[in-house]
Amino acid sequence: MYILAAFVFGVIYGFIKPGKENRMKLLKESAAVGILIGIVFGLLGTRLPELSNALALGTGVAIAILVFFFAVFFIIGTAVGDFLENLRKS
């Protein structure tokens, strides 16, 4: 369900924003955001006494991977949105 939402938001973003999107820039920015969020949650997890450090690290890595995974579907959606925008212009 969340993957579909990321894809739909990507289509809307690609269709509404004029011109072709720089997909590599979007991918790099989403990777940076995913790593940052993963580090924050990993550090927060180490402060909770009921969690071990390994679990906190695993949570941080998992969140970083999930953000990157959703970003890939968002970028695929932007490609579809750009395609639809080109069809509308033609």
- What's the pLDDT at 51? 67
Which residue range forms the structural domain that includes residue 64? Answer: 2-89
Give the residue ranges of DSSP H helices in 1-90: 2-16, 23-47, 53-89
Q: What value does the mean pLDDT of the chain take?
A: 83
pLDDT, one tens digit per residue, over 16-38 is 888 777 888 888 888 888 888 88
Q: In angstroms, how far is CA 7 from the centroid of its own chain? A: 10
Closest CA relative to residue 7, chosen from 85, 88, 90, 79: 79
What is the value of pTM for the model shown?
A: 0.76
Tally the domains of the chain. Answer: 1
- What's the pLDDT at 59? 77
**Six token digits for residue 7:** 């894809």
pLDDT, one tens digit per residue, over 56-65 is 778 778 888 8
Closest CA relative to residue 82, chosen from 31, 23, 26, 28: 23
**What is the crossing angle of helices 2-16 and 53-89, to 10°?**
40
